């Protein structure tokens, strides 16, 4: 990026954040005037485009409300008649699910334009803080494309990142600016892909100035992978031959072009990797690295301690907030600690509104905002971007040229400040998410359904599941779901069943059954080893009574007490863990949909 380009990016940021209200109003006006005649908007606005009428008549909706329209488009009806006038280039697959399947978000050429503008602004900020790292240097970004899904109408549904990897401008800069060859990003086997991307990162270690991936969980997983495979990687570098188990032809071709025998490099890496502690390993292996670029907020905050251990003081840069629905925030202070990161909304991407949350967010001991489960919306209507209040929590609504009108993204944010006239926010959490060890979102209803299906397997054994709860365990990487079960015999409950008497085969089937009945994203992440095997921990009888006593001492009302479906408190988890009598893991990956 030339100096004047970078300066113009910073200038643009100032202008956008100063003129936020005007830009937002103009954007809404354009969206409405383009799309007022669609079947959806026509029903509420009768062809008019007035902002006040929009706020009065157009309902606030979730994906479920728009789904019938989106399904009709996916099945071949013209999108321009139904929801949005701009031609669709496909759908984005959101990590949220609806009825167990990923949400399909209509995508137009306009979204590519928004991404390009965002990239320009983001790069300008990075140059401001780290200099132009693209000069004679490379980024070791771990990137994994996902296969597209074709809808009955022939439109492709792809992950937003996969669409970006396929873009011609990305392909053009890839060999010069990134260590991963194109073929490794598109290798359908994630293990082979990760092995090769790390291998190519190692052989280009002298050029690497930035390491990252979209989410922190992937960076941690990659370092763990390296920890388990460095001897083999070094042997490949020594001989200049890639391992036989790398069967993907694209990966092998890339290796045949780039991998040459290099004894000296292999010895050096072996030396570094064989040291006792892996503290600061990233810095030792890639000594020119200036920062780790990866999202560390929200569900990813749980991975930052481990990442900090590996990166030896390198800054963790959580640069942006983005979602398939089009909302985009940018971190103007990339050097601040992950727990302090605030994002600034970009007012030119979508039209935002904010529904305030009645019960404020609480702050825990690590100064992290957390969503109070009892939050409710206030009766007041949603407010515009520039009218949010400092310190207040809100649910984000977006209206976009992609056919989403007053759409609840499902994210809760807390306003932490303003840059010019534009609010800055901390990401608080997702609504209705009980468990999430990576970017998957599992609701209480999902857990309930999974347990209901699995517990039926206990019936023929004369056992009943009396109580259960769950936890997302990220103490090892990848994280996994732990379901605590208290079991008793149907009759003769004095005859305590303990772990040894439980049939391990049946218990493992229970684990697998739960995984099979969880939603699409969970099963896909599990298959790709982004989530480890689900575990059932059987606890002694009476454990859930102790758990209740604990919650009562903490102020819960005994008469209204319900066992939480998911446990967040460390003390409560200790109560459960200290009474575990048996542990069982799912022995296979869950069944995938065709
Ligand atoms: P997707 O629907 O797959 O596009 O995922 C987008 C969602 O990921 C957002 O709605 C957020 O819930 C989450 N997300 C994206 N960026 C961040 C971030 N920087 N910090 C925390 N969560 C994020």
pLDDT tens digits, residue range 81-121?
899 999 999 999 887 767 667 889 999 988 878 888 888 89
Q: Which residue has the higher pLDDT, 132 or 88?
A: 88
Burial track 79-95 (b if 16+ CB lie within 10 A, e otherwise): bbebbbbbebbbbbbbb
**In whole angstroms, what is the distance from residue 347 CA to residue 4 CA?**
23
Residue (of 90, 115, 118, 117) closest to 105 by Cα position: 90
Whether the per-residue pLDDT at 496 is higher than 70: the answer is no
Predicted confidence at residue 302, as pLDDT, reads 79
Closest CA to 351 of 17, 50, 31, 19: 31
DSSP string, 262-275: -HHHHHHHHHHHTS
Q: Is the predicted pLDDT of residue 582 greater than 80, yes or no?
A: yes
Cα 193 to ligand 1 centroid, rounded to whole Å: 24
Cα distance between residue 350 and residue 353, in whole Å: 10
- Mean pLDDT across the stretch 2-16? 87
Report the C-alpha gap between 334 and 319 in whole angstroms: 6
Q: Rounded to whole angstroms, how far apart are CA atoms 260 and 257?
A: 8
Does pLDDT of 180 surpass 80? yes
Q: Which of 98, 157, 213, 295 to probe ligand 1 with, by most ligand atoms within 8 A of CB?
A: 295
Q: Are 212 and 222 in contact (CB under 8 A)?
A: no
CA of residue 223 to ligand 1 center, whole Å: 23
Q: Which residue is closest in CA terms to ligand 1's atom 21?
A: 298
Give the position, in ligand 1's atom list, of the atom nearest the Cα of 159.
3
User: Rounded to 5 degrees, what are φ and ψ at 361?
Assistant: -75, 145
Q: What residues contact residue 365 under an 8 Å CB cut-off, 6+ apart?
A: none
Alpha carbon nearest to ligand 1 atom 20, residue: 297
Q: What's residue 373's pLDDT?
A: 44
* Per-residue 3-state assignment (H helix, E strand, C coil) for 523-590: HHHHHCCCCCCCEEEEECCCHHHHHHHHHHHCCCCHHHCCCCCECCCHHHHHHHHCCEEEEEECCCCC
pLDDT tens digits for range 204-261: 999 999 999 999 988 998 998 999 999 999 999 999 999 999 999 999 999 999 999 9
Residue with CA at minimum distance from ligand 1 atom 10? 323
Say yes or no to pLDDT of 363 above 50: no
Taking alpha carbons only, the member of 326, 350, 354 closest to residue 423 is 354
Cβ proximity of 173 and 167 under 8 Å: no
Q: Is the pLDDT at 477 greater than 90, yes or no?
A: no
What is the rounded average pLDDT of the residues 297-323? 91
Question: pLDDT grade, residue 492 (50/70/90)?
Answer: low
For the beta carbon of residue 109, count every other beta carbon within 10 angstroms: 11
Residue 324 Cα: closest atom of ligand 1: 4
| pTM of the complete model | 0.85
With pLDDT > 90 as the criterion, what percentage of the chain qualifies? Answer: 71
Separation of CA 408 and ligand 1 centre (Å): 13
Which of 126, 128, 219 has its CA nearest to residue 177?
126
Q: Tell me the three state secondary structure of residue 415.
A: strand
pLDDT number for residue 500: 47
Using one digit for the tens of pLDDT, what is the confidence trace for 35-78? 999 999 999 999 999 999 999 999 999 999 999 999 999 999 99
**Helix-helix angle 249-258:190-203, to 10 degrees:** 10
Q: How far is the CA of 322 from the centre of ligand 1 (A)?
A: 6
In terms of C-beta density within 10 A (0-12 exposed, 13-18 middle, 19 or more buried), how is residue 535 classed? middle
Distance, CA of 330 to CA of 424 (rounded, Å):
9
pLDDT for the residue 136: 73
Q: How confident is the model at residue 153 (pLDDT cuts 50, 70, 90)?
A: very high
State yes or no: pLDDT of 377 exceeds 80: no
Q: Whose CA is closest to atom 7 on ligand 1?
A: 323
CB atoms within 10 A of CB 274: 10
Q: Show the ligand 1 pocket: residues with CB < 6 angstroms.
A: 94-96, 160, 295, 297-298, 318, 321-324, 409, 411, 427, 430
The answer to whether 512 and 584 are in contact (CB under 8 A) is: no
Does the pLDDT at position 140 exceed 60? Answer: yes
First to last CA, the chain: 44
Q: What is the pLDDT of residue 588?
A: 96
* Closest atom of ligand 1 relative to the 327 alpha carbon: 10
By most ligand atoms within 8 Å of CB, the mutation choice from 408, 411, 424 for ligand 1 is 411
Q: How far is CA 303 from CA 221, 306, 333, in A?
A: 10, 6, 20
Nearest-atom number in ligand 1 for the CA of 439 is 8
The whole-number pLDDT of residue 498 equals 52
At 366 the pLDDT is 35
């Amino acid at each position: 990026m030339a100096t004047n380009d970078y300066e113009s990016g910073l200038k643009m940021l100032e202008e956008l954040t100063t003129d936020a209200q005007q830009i937002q109003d103009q954007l809404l006006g354009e969206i409405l005037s383009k799309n007022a005649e669609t079947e959806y908007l026509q029903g509420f606005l009768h062809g008019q485009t007035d902002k006040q009428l929009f706020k009065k008549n157009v309902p606030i909706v979730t994906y479920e409300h728009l789904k019938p329209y989106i399904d009709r488009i996916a099945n071949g009806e013209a999108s321009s008649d139904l929801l949005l006038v701009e031609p669709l280039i496909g759908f984005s697959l959101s990590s949220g699910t609806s009825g167990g399947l990923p949400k399909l978000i209509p995508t137009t050429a306009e979204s590519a334009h928004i991404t390009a503008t965002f990239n320009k602004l983001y790069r300008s900020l990075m140059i401001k803080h780290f200099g132009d790292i693209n000069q004679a240097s490379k980024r070791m970004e771990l990137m994994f494309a996902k296969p597209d899904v074709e809808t009955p109408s022939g439109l492709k549904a792809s992950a937003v990142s996969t669409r970006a990897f396929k873009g011609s401008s990305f392909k053009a800069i890839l060999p010069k600016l990134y260590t991963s060859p194109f073929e490794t990003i598109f290798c359908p086997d994630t293990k082979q892909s990760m092995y090769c991307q790390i291998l190519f990162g190692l052989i280009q270690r002298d050029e690497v100035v930035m390491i990252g991936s979209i989410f922190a969980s992937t960076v941690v997983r990659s370092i763990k992978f390296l920890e388990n495979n460095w001897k083999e990687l070094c042997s490949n570098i020594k001989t200049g031959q890639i391992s036989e188990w790398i069967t993907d032809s694209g990966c092998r071709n890339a290796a045949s072009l780039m991998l040459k025998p290099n004894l000296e490099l292999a010895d050096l890496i072996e030396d570094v990797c064989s040291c006792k502690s892996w503290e600061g390993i990233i810095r030792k292996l890639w000594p020119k690295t200036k920062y780790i670029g990866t999202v560390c907020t929200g569900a990813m905050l749980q991975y930052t301690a481990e990442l900090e251990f590996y990166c030896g003081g390198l800054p963790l840069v959580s640069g942006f907030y983005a979602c398939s629905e089009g909302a985009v925030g940018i971190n103007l202070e990339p050097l601040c600690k992950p727990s302090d990161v605030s994002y600034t909304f970009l007012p030119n991407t979508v039209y935002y509104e904010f529904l305030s949350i009645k019960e404020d967010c609480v702050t825990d001991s690590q100064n992290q905002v957390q969503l109070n489960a009892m939050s409710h919306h206030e009766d007041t209507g949603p407010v515009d971007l520039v009218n949010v209040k400092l310190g207040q929590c809100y649910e984000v609504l977006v209206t976009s040229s992609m056919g989403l009108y007053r759409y609840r993204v499902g994210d809760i944010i807390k306003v932490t400040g303003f840059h010019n006239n534009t609010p800055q926010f901390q990401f608080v959490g997702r609504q209705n998410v009980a468990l999430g060890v990576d970017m998957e979102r599992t609701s209480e209803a999902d857990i309930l359904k999974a347990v209901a299906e699995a517990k039926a397997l206990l019936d023929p054994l004369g056992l009943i599941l009396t109580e259960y709860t769950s936890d997302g365990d990220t103490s090892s990487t990848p994280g996994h779901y732990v379901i605590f079960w208290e079991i008793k015999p149907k009759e003769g409950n004095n005859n305590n069943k303990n772990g040894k008497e439980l049939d391990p085969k049946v218990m493992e089937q229970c684990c697998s059954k739960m995984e099979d009945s969880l939603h699409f994203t969970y099963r896909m992440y599990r298959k790709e080893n982004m989530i480890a095997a689900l575990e059932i921990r059987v606890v002694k009888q009476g454990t859930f009574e102790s758990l209740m006593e604990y919650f009562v001492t903490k102020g819960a009302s005994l008469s209204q007490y319900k066992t939480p479906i998911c446990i967040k408190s460390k003390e409560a988890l200790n109560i459960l863990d200290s009474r575990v009598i048996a542990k069982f893991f799912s022995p296979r990956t869950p069944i995938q949909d065709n």
